[in-house]
Each structure stands twice: as C-alpha cells, then as structure tokens.
C-alpha cells in the first residue's frame, strides 16, 4: 500500500509540474501579446488627428493649400482670394452713380463671413486637377477635415468644397476653385538622362535596370574591354549613345587621332555607322580641342543615318555624394536650370543601381511640377521641332 501511495503521489507531482509549466507558458504568451497590442496602440496614436481651434485652422489650412499648389509648380501670383472684392471710391468733387464709380486698390472684408477662406487658383493646361484634389484631401485628413470636388464638364475646372468631417451636414467652410488657363506656363523642362559607366554595375543588376520601363539612355560600354556589358545593353534594346574620342598619337584609347589620314578616319566613321546602326547618336569627345578634325567628323557622320554631336550638348553632372543626397542635388540642379529658362536638358550622370532606384521613387516630385523625361532619341526629335540654342558645356554636382 505504501508503494501505491507513493506512485499516486508521484503522478500527482508530475501532473502538477506539467500544469505549472503550461501556466507559465500561457502567462508568457499573454504578456507578449499585451506588449504587441500596446505597440499597435502606440503606433496608431502617433497619427492622431490634430485638435486645433477654429482660429488656428483658419490660418493653417490656407497656408496648406498654397504649399500644395507650389508642389505642382503653381506660382503665388496665380493664387487669388476669391472671398475679397475691390471697393470703389468716388471721384473728389463729383457725385457719381454706382455704375460710374471707378475701382480703388483697397480691399473689402470677406464677402461671405461664413466661409473661412476661398481661393481661385489658375493652373496651366497640363496640370492634373485630380492629383491636386487628392493631395489637398490627404493633407486635410490630419485636421479631421475632408473635401468634395465638382468638375465643370465643359471647362474641366474643379471646385473643391472643404468641410469638417464631424459635421454630418458637410457644410462648406472653405473652397478652392481650380481654373485652367492657356496664358500661363510652369517653370518646367524636358529632361534626358544618359547613364555613364554602366559597365561598373554587376551584370545581373545592369540587365534588370535596363529592362525598367523608365525613359533614360546609356553610354555604350567600351567596344573591346567590356563586350559583356555591351551585349547586355544591346540585348535589352535600351536607347544608347556612342562616345568617340579625338586625340593624338599619345592617346592610345582615342578612336580618332589628329595624325590619321582622311581615308583612315573616314573608313572608321563608315564602319561605326554600319556596326552600330541601332545607336541613337555619336557624341564626339574633344578634350584637346582639336576643332578642325571635330568639324570634319561631324560632316562625315552627317552623310550616314547615325548622327554625331559635340559633347557640348551634354550637362555633365558629377557628385561625390552617396545615393540619396547625390540624386536630391541632381533634382535641385534640374529645377534651378529650368527657373533660369532652360526648357530642354541632356544630363550625363554616373548613377549606379541604387541611385536609379532612388531616382525612380522620387522623380514624381519633378513630374508633378511639369517636368517630363525622355530618352535621347525622343528628346532630339522634340528639339528638331522646337530648336533651342546649344547649351555650353558645364559640370555640376
């Protein structure tokens, strides 16, 4: 009996031990889930709607609208207050009828006191009202406001009514009227990106990059030493240009040398045109300023389908910065040049795979301002229709 009792006691201890372990495991899981729930709550709490007074909102929301307009390249002078009108002032010494009164520069108080603000924004024909409306809608979310848009079917103009989401009647507190105008244009440009030194990118990455749908061109890698990278460029059918150097006998890597006999360099031009008939252009590099030969080469290439250009056609952008900063500085350079009047720009850049990925993710900021990207072939066709003075060679970065 003692042994049976002992066995029974052991069984009880074992069962109790197992239950204790299970209980500990359950407690651990419970605490972990509790921590996760708190983390989720904390995460959502960072996106809380901002609670502000009406007076604060009346200052913040109009400024938000102006800021959004600037994202689309809309100038301040294209924005007017639709809730203010000119007041008339009678001419001294004369009593006039209302119809004869002349406008004065002074501004009356808001016409509709119920409205917080009302804006008329003139926009060029190439601005998407849907994108502007979406940007305004998203910006209002953090203040617990929303908007509804009504489009004029004839003009395409958009009236955006802004209201407080807590108001079940959706009463309009402000409005923004987007009006198309063919008299205004944004400071934007057509841009071509030519990637240099793509042979330095690992072949699998290079192939993937060249198959992207984005519009850009590349410099064809060296015809001898990097035949593998050259093959990838051609197989992907990416738009490419050839770089050909003019030098002297001391410049071993130059394709054309000052000392060459006319028959020799003409033969080289002819063979290049036949061998690389799919190239969009030849860019002649002339670091030693051997201008007579440069002129001869340009004339000779003009006899074939493959057109040649001086390297002064390029804006050479270089930077020692890393990915994000390098691309952001490039964007700023594009904007600065367009503000100075440039309408068509061809950039030679040294972007790797990481740079291109960042460029792809961020170039929408330029596109919504009106900038358009093309490969070299497309941009030169546009230039042929609307010629511009040739850009002086520059290095930026």
Q: What token pair was written down for 202?
A: 């690992």
Does the residue 36 lie in any domain? no
Does the residue 302 lie in any domain? yes
Does the residue 199 lie in any domain? yes
Question: Where do we find the tokens 């929303």?
Answer: 146
Q: Is the pTM of this model over 0.85?
A: no
Q: How far apart are CA 202 and CA 222, in angstroms?
A: 15
Same domain, 154 and 256: no
In this prediction, residue 395 carries a pLDDT of: 58
- Mean pLDDT per segment of 10 residues, for the chain of length 397 residues? 54 71 70 52 48 88 96 96 60 47 42 82 96 96 94 95 93 95 94 96 95 96 84 96 95 92 96 95 96 96 95 94 90 95 96 94 96 97 77 55
Host domain of residue 139? 54-180
Pairing relationship of beta strands 158-164 and 174-180 according to DSSP bridges: antiparallel
Same domain, 245 and 144: no
Angle at 331 between CA 322 and CA 313, to 5 degrees: 100
Q: Which of 139, 158, 180 is the last residue of a domain?
A: 180
Instruction: Give the three-class secondary structure for 260.
Output: coil
In this prediction, residue 113 carries a pLDDT of: 64
In this prediction, residue 48 carries a pLDDT of: 58
Does the residue 376 lie in any domain? yes
In this prediction, residue 300 carries a pLDDT of: 96
In this prediction, residue 18 carries a pLDDT of: 77
Q: How far apart are CA 27 and CA 350, in angstroms?
A: 57
Number of domains in the chain: 2
């Amino acid at each position: 009996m003692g042994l049976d009792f002992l066995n029974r006691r052991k069984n009880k201890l074992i069962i109790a031990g197992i239950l204790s372990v299970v209980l500990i495991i359950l407690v651990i899981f419970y605490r972990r889930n509790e921590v996760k729930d708190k983390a989720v709550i904390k995460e959502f709490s960072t996106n809380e709607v901002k609670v502000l007074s009406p007076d604060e909102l009346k200052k913040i929301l109009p400024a938000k609208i102006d800021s959004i307009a600037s994202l689309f390249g809309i100038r301040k002078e294209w924005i007017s207050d639709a809730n203010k009108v000119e007041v008339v002032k009678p001419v001294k010494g004369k009593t006039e009828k209302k119809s004869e009164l002349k406008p004065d520069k002074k501004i009356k108080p808001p016409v509709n006191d119920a409205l917080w603000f009302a804006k008329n924004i003139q926009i060029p024909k190439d601005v998407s009202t849907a994108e502007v409306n979406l940007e305004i809608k998203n910006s209002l979310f953090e203040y617990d406001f929303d908007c509804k848009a009504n489009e004029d079917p004839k003009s395409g103009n958009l009236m955006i009514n802004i209201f407080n989401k807590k108001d079940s009647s959706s009463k309009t507190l402000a409005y923004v009227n987007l009006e198309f105008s063919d008299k205004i244009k944004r400071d934007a440009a057509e841009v071509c990106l030519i990637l240099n030194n793509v042979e330095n990118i690992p072949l699998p990455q290079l192939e993937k990059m060249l198959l992207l749908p984005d519009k850009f061109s590349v410099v064809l890698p060296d015809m001898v030493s990097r035949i593998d990278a050259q093959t990838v460029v051609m197989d992907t059918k990416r738009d490419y240009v050839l770089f050909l150097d003019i030098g002297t006998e001391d410049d071993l890597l130059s394709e054309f040398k000052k000392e060459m006999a006319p028959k020799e360099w003409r033969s080289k031009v002819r063979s290049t045109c036949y061998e690389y008939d799919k190239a969009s252009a030849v860019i002649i590099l002339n670091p030693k300023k051997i201008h007579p030969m440069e002129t001869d080469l340009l004339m000779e290439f003009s006899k074939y389908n493959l057109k040649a250009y001086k390297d002064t056609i390029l804006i050479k952008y270089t930077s020692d910065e890393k990915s994000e900063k390098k691309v952001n500085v490039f964007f700023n350079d594009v904007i600065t040049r367009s503000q100075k009047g440039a309408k068509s720009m061809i950039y030679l850049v040294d972007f790797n795979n990481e740079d291109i990925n960042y460029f792809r993710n961020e170039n929408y900021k330029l596109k919504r301002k009106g900038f358009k990207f093309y490969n070299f072939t497309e941009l030169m066709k546009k230039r042929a229709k609307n010629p511009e003075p040739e850009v002086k060679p520059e290095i930026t970065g």
